[in-house]
Amino acid sequence: MIRRYFLLYFIVLSIPVFLGLLAWQSVQYKELERNVRRLEAVQDDLLADNNRIIANIAVLSSTSRIEQIAVNDLGLSRLRPENVLKIRIDGGHWQ
């Protein structure tokens, strides 16, 4: 008889515990979902920044821009092909 009541009390008392655990799990899930959304927003911002940086690299490394800086700012001029000295190393000997 006592054993039957013990089982009944256990079942009756375990229901609120399970409901509490369910509520706690729901709160944890919502918090994790919020964190995922925040991290996705950060990732989107980083991807946009990365795309802007790649575009800036393309602009800054263009040959026309580098040539303009060399000629206008540094006073350099383009070499004529006959003024270019080519050195070739064959088998470790200078030629």
Q: Is residue 91's pLDDT more than 80?
A: no
Rg (CA), the chain: 36
pLDDT digits (tens, 9 = 90+) for 7-24: 888 888 899 999 999 999
pLDDT digits (tens, 9 = 90+) for 42-56: 999 999 999 999 999
What is the C-alpha to C-alpha distance for residues 40 and 52, in angstroms, rounded to an integer? 18
Q: The whole model's pTM is what? A: 0.56
What is the C-alpha to C-alpha distance for residues 30 and 60, in angstroms, rounded to an integer? 45
Q: Domain extents for the chain?
A: 2-76
Furthest CA-CA distance within the chain: 112
At 80 the pLDDT is: 86
